[in-house]
Amino acid sequence: MDKPGVLRVAIACNIKTDHTSEADAEFDEPETIEAISTALRNGGFETIVLDAADQFPRKLIAASPDIVFNIAEGRSGRSREAQVPAILEYYGVPYSGSDAAALSVSLDKAMTKRLAQSCGVETPAFCIITRGAPELSSNLPDGLPCDLLDELPGGLRFPVIVKPNAEGSGKGITDDCVAEDMPQLSALTGRLADYHEGGLLAEQYIGGREFTVGILGNGSGLRVLEPMEIIYRQHRGPYNIYSCEVKRNFREYVDYSCPPDIPPALVNKIKSDAITVYNALGCMDFARADFRLSADGRVYFIEINPLPGLRPHYSDFPILAEYNGINYGNLIRTILGFALDRYGMRRVVTRDE
């Protein structure tokens, strides 16, 4: 029986069942879902888990939550992260995190980069490689067949990093995903041909320092956490790549430094650019943005993730939050608290762990 006055929070998620399948790489471990549930229960909420698989709308109606804590990645397609938020919006159910529009756009890395550029945020030169010949297109009106090019379009120069344009969690990003010439580029695009939804992103490789920054809140209550530097201490190839394998075994390959040892002006630039992209997309409650700092001191926006992983002591966002003095329980409750504020719903008094 529900307790009077206690808000019922449903955790919408995709539960990982196959740890050997890259298709499930974005899905959440049962331990992550339990950690979120525990954090919310410690704040006085009642929780229920809703697996965003078959019959999700029926499960949602039957559960009748007051609000949904959304970490669902969706089933398939270039707009998959928008699927659960769109369903929640259709049924008028409040939920945490960014809306369907922001999640749909942000998963498309090239589209997000174009939006960032329109706001004056610098991002590495890039182009999209579509399935087929392949064809390449950037800001050119028409794509050009790869085998007719003497050099890359749109100001792009080798070396370039090649990755799926509409994937997350490092899917498709391997230790050898940097091409130094056209033959290597053709080989990479052939190997990644299965990632055809949204095409492949070929981006100028920036051989500099790497940072990720967390953003919490909305409007005037927006807080940008101190950036966290990702420091490579063991190399798996000639280039520093935050690959899927490195992320899985991060304790072996990288160290983290927060706050980073860079001048305040560069820290402020990273934070400012993160806020600009966050607001331009219309992100809500929380997100994480990635940057590279070139050898000549230029800050380059790489991508933003409004649905970052929340696995405790593993995912980048909880790790950098800890560096910023926010323990896991308070992080989860803070995210939900921002959502409750947006909907004008009563907050539950939380306690530190």
Coil, strand or helix at 28: strand
Q: Helix 56-63 crosses helix 83-90 at what angle (to 10 degrees)?
A: 50
Q: Give the Cα separation of 68 and 285 in Å (integer).
A: 13
What pLDDT sits at residue 4? Answer: 55
What pLDDT sits at residue 136? Answer: 43
Residues of the chain predicted below pLDDT 50: 1-2, 133-149, 349-351, 353
Report in angstroms the alpha-carbon separations of 214 from 141, 257, 258, 319, 335. 35, 14, 12, 10, 12
What pLDDT sits at residue 199? Answer: 82
230 within 8 A of 188, measured Cβ to Cβ: no
Report in angstroms the alpha-carbon separations of 323 from 81, 214, 227, 257. 28, 11, 9, 9
What pLDDT sits at residue 89? Answer: 97
Cα atoms in the Cβ-side hemisphere of radius 13 Å centred on 69: 29
CA dihedral angle for residue 276, residue 231, residue 293, residue 162, rounded to 10 degrees = -90
E strands, 186-274, in order: 200-204, 209-217, 223-224, 228-232, 254-257
Q: Which two three-digit tokens encode residue 88?
A: 């929640």
What pLDDT sits at residue 28? Answer: 87
CA nearest neighbour of 39 among 308, 351, 313, 320: 351
Q: What distance lies between CA 242 and its chain's CA centroid? A: 13
- Pairing between β-strand 67-70 and β-strand 8-13 as defined by DSSP bridges: parallel
Report in angstroms the alpha-carbon separations of 338 from 30, 215, 331, 344, 348. 25, 12, 11, 10, 12
What pLDDT sits at residue 169? Answer: 56
| Phi, psi (rounded to 5 degrees) for 336 | -65, -40
Residues 257-283 have pLDDT tens digits of 999 999 999 999 999 999 999 999 999
What pLDDT sits at residue 100? Answer: 97
What pLDDT sits at residue 247? Answer: 80
Q: Give the Cα separation of 97 and 73 in Å (integer).
A: 12
What pLDDT sits at residue 137? Answer: 40
Backbone dihedral region of 339: left (phi > 0), alpha (psi from -120 to 50 degrees) or beta?
alpha
152 within 8 A of 161, measured Cβ to Cβ: no
Q: Which two three-digit tokens encode residue 319?
A: 């790790």
237 within 8 A of 268, measured Cβ to Cβ: no
